[in-house]
């Protein structure tokens, strides 16, 4: 094992990896070359091609997960998406985060004339074309997003979601400061905008955990490669080199631990407690205030929860039956606390207005504007899901407060 230092013989083709930073680490008989790139730099593409063309490496590792790799290398990847499966498996929120990332990347591409992550795509494509072993070492972006959320307070979650949503519909150019930070940092970190810079706790999940994960994935390889080129964002170089050289735990154990997302409690106590209080209040109204009071409280519950959920679906311009599904599903939440009402309205929407192939092809462009979200059927299903749930949540709290107020008089 050697210290991760920049060797004197690093330059290739007289270009020094086209000026990109390089760190070399040798461990367990394998020589790792970590090539730090900027995700919006043509020089980084040149550096990647020069490194692979040199013939010095028998394997290439890339800072991509399976999903991002497909998005970069397969234009039809989104068209193969099973939207019903996404809804049923409750992965709409990570999917929306991916749309935010795609929209941010498209804005950068239009502004700078280069596709963000083009150097990662070049590394994967060139390695495959030359018959070299190629490994995707980054953690799934959905897992990263879920681990971020589980480590944040309720208020910070709301701020993060607001930051991501704001980035979806921003029309102005990406600032020069953001571009400079992106050249030295990480695409996911930049996508979360100002919130990421104001919330140090995000660093653990966005950068440090992924440094450890990618270093462990490099040690996991079983293809017998002795000289490995790892193409990663420059912001990961220092951390990856440290963990690659010093980490002693088994890589399989580390990757499993860092890819673990805590399951939600089997019993959602907060939701159940709130629902029991509301249902108990309605029942108390029937027995102590008479049938008329009980009926009024029950009507308040249906009106607020069903009405605001339906309003959410309406604001998303959902189909009339999707709006009806939201209105019916929201008041019944106490009987199925684990299933959000937006799931039902979104499933109705996707069946009645099934997205067509052009919707998937235009998804990255349409996700950049508010009009595109209403025009694109894929985006609109996501909107129906999110706004139905938001309306239902607001309705629960308003109706709960209203029922409590009636009982206290």
Task: State whether 191 and 315 are in the same domain.
Answer: no
Are residues 334 and 198 part of one domain? no
Residues contacting residue 117 through CB under 8 Å, at least 6 positions apart: 39, 64, 68, 72, 105, 187
Q: Are residues 250 and 121 in the same domain?
A: yes
CB burial string 151-186: b at 16+ within 10 A, e below: ebeeebeebbbebbeebbeeeeebeeebbebbbebb
Predicted local confidence at residue 212, as pLDDT: 94
The tokens for 166 are 């704001």
Per the structure, how many domains does the chain have? 2
pLDDT for residue 333: 77
Q: Are 282 and 388 members of one domain? A: yes
Q: Is residue 357 part of a domain?
A: yes
62 and 199 together in one domain: yes
Residues 370 and 223 in one domain: no
Per-residue pLDDT, averaged over 376-391, amounts to 91
pLDDT band, very low/low/confident/very high, at 6 (cuts 50, 70, 90) = very low
pLDDT score, position 12: 39
The answer as to whether 6 is a domain residue is: no
Q: Flag whether 194 is in a domain.
A: yes
Query: Model confidence over 91-140: pLDDT tens digits?
Result: 777 777 777 777 766 666 667 677 777 888 999 999 999 999 999 999 98
Sign of torsion, CA 203 206 207 211? positive
Q: Let me know whether 33 and 157 are in one domain.
A: yes
pLDDT digits (tens, 9 = 90+) for 219-238: 997 678 899 999 998 888 88
Q: Cβ atoms within 10 A of the Cβ of 351, count?
A: 12
Q: Would you place residue 385 in the very low, low, confident or very high pLDDT band (cuts 50, 70, 90)? A: very high
pLDDT of amino acid 89: 79
- Picking from 258, 293, 308, the residue at the C-terminal end of a domain is 258
DSSP string, 33-100: EEEEE-TT-HHHHHHHHHHHHTT--SEEEES--HHHHHHHH-TTTGGG--HHHHHHTT-HHHHHHHHH
Which residue, 227, 258, 289, sits at the end of a domain?
A: 258
Band of pLDDT at residue 373, cut at 50, 70 and 90: confident
Model confidence band, residue 297 (pLDDT cutoffs 50, 70, 90): confident
Average pLDDT over the chain, rounded to whole?
Answer: 78
In this model, does residue 2 exceed pLDDT 50? no
> Are 294 and 201 within one domain?
no
- Going by pLDDT thresholds of 50, 70 and 90, the confidence category of residue 10 is very low
The pLDDT of residue 13 is: 38
Mean pLDDT of 378-386: 90
306 closest CA partner among 281, 271, 332: 332
Global confidence as pTM: 0.69
Residue 397 lies in a domain: yes
In this structure, the answer to whether residues 239 and 321 fall within a common structural domain is: no
**Residue spans of alpha helices (H) in 135-246:** 141-150, 154-169, 176-184, 187-191, 193-198, 201-203, 209-220, 237-246
Mean pLDDT lowest for which of 2-16, 163-177, 266-280?
2-16
Closest by CA position to 123, among listed 218, 240, 37: 37
Confidence of residue 14 (pLDDT cuts 50, 70, 90): very low
Same domain, 199 and 91: yes
pLDDT at 409: 62
Within-domain flag for 56: yes
362 vs 75, which has greater pLDDT?
A: 362
Query: pLDDT band for position 7 (50/70/90)?
Result: very low
- Average pLDDT, integer, range 317-337: 88
Tell whether 250 and 273 lie within a shared domain. Answer: no
- In tens, the pLDDT along 331-350 reads 887 667 668 899 999 999 99
Share of the chain above pLDDT 90, in %: 31
Rounded Cα distance between 13 and 275, Å, is 68
The reply to whether 79 falls in a domain is yes
Whether 329 has a pLDDT exceeding 80, the answer reads yes
pLDDT bucket at 11, cuts 50 / 70 / 90: very low
State which of 258, 283, 311 marks the end of a domain.
258
Asked whether residue 373 is assigned to any structural domain, the reply reads yes
Asked if residue 363 is part of any domain, the answer here is yes
- Asked if residues 213 and 255 have their Cβ atoms less than 8 Å apart, the reply is yes
Q: Average pLDDT for residues 148-164, to the nearest whole number?
A: 70
Domain that holds residue 402: 269-408
Instruction: Give me the pLDDT at residue 381, please.
Output: 92
**Residue of 29 and 182 predicted with greater confidence:** 29
Specify whether 183 is located in the same domain as 144: yes
- DSSP symbol at 302: I
Query: Tens digits of per-residue pLDDT, 171-216?
Result: 555 555 555 555 555 566 555 555 555 666 666 677 888 999 999 9
């Amino acid at each position: 094992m050697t210290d991760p230092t920049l060797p004197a013989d690093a330059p290739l083709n007289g270009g020094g990896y086209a000026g990109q930073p390089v760190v070399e680490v040798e461990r367990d008989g394998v020589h790792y070359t970590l090539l730090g790139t900027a995700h919006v730099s043509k020089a980084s593409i040149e550096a990647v091609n020069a490194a692979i063309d040199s013939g010095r490496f028998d394997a290439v590792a890339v800072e991509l997960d399976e999903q991002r790799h497909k998005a970069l290398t397969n234009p039809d990847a989104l068209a193969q998406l099973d939207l019903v499966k996404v809804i049923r498996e409750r992965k709409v929120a990570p999917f929306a985060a991916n749309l935010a990332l795609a929209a941010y990347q498209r804005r950068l591409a239009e502004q700078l004339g280069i596709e963000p992550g083009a150097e990662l795509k070049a590394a994967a494509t060139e390695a495959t074309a030359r018959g070299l072993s190629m490994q995707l070492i980054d953690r799934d972006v959905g897992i990263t997003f879920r681990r971020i959320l589980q480590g944040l307070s309720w208020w910070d979650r709301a701020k993060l979601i607001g930051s991501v949503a704001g980035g979806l519909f921003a029309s102005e150019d990406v600032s020069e400061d953001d571009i400079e930070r992106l050249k030295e940092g990480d695409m996911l970190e930049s996508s979360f905008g100002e919130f990421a810079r104001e919330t140090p706790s995000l660093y653990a999940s966005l950068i440090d955990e992924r440094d450890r994960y990618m270093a462990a994935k490099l040690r996991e390889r079983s293809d017998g490669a002795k000289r490995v080129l790892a193409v990663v964002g420059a912001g990961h170089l220092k951390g990856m080199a440290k963990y690659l050289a010093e980490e002693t735990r088994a890589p399989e154990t580390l990757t499993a631990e860092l890819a673990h997302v805590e399951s939600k409690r089997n019993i959602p106590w907060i939701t159940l407690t709130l629902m029991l209080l509301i249902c108990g209040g309605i029942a108390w109204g029937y027995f102590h205030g008479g049938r008329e009071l009980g009926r009024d409280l029950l009507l308040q519950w249906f009106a607020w929860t069903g009405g605001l959920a339906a309003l959410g679906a309406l604001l998303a311009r959902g189909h009339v039956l999707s709006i009806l599904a939201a209105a019916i599903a929201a008041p019944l939440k106490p009987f199925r606390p684990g299933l959000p009402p937006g799931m039902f309205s979104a499933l109705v929407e996707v069946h009645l207005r099934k997205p067509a192939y052009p919707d998937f092809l235009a998804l990255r462009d349409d996700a950049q504007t508010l009009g595109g979200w209403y025009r694109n059927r894929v985006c609109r299903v996501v909107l129906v899901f999110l706004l139905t749930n938001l309306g239902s949540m607001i309705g629960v709290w308003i109706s709960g407060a209203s029922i409590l107020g009636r009982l206290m008089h």
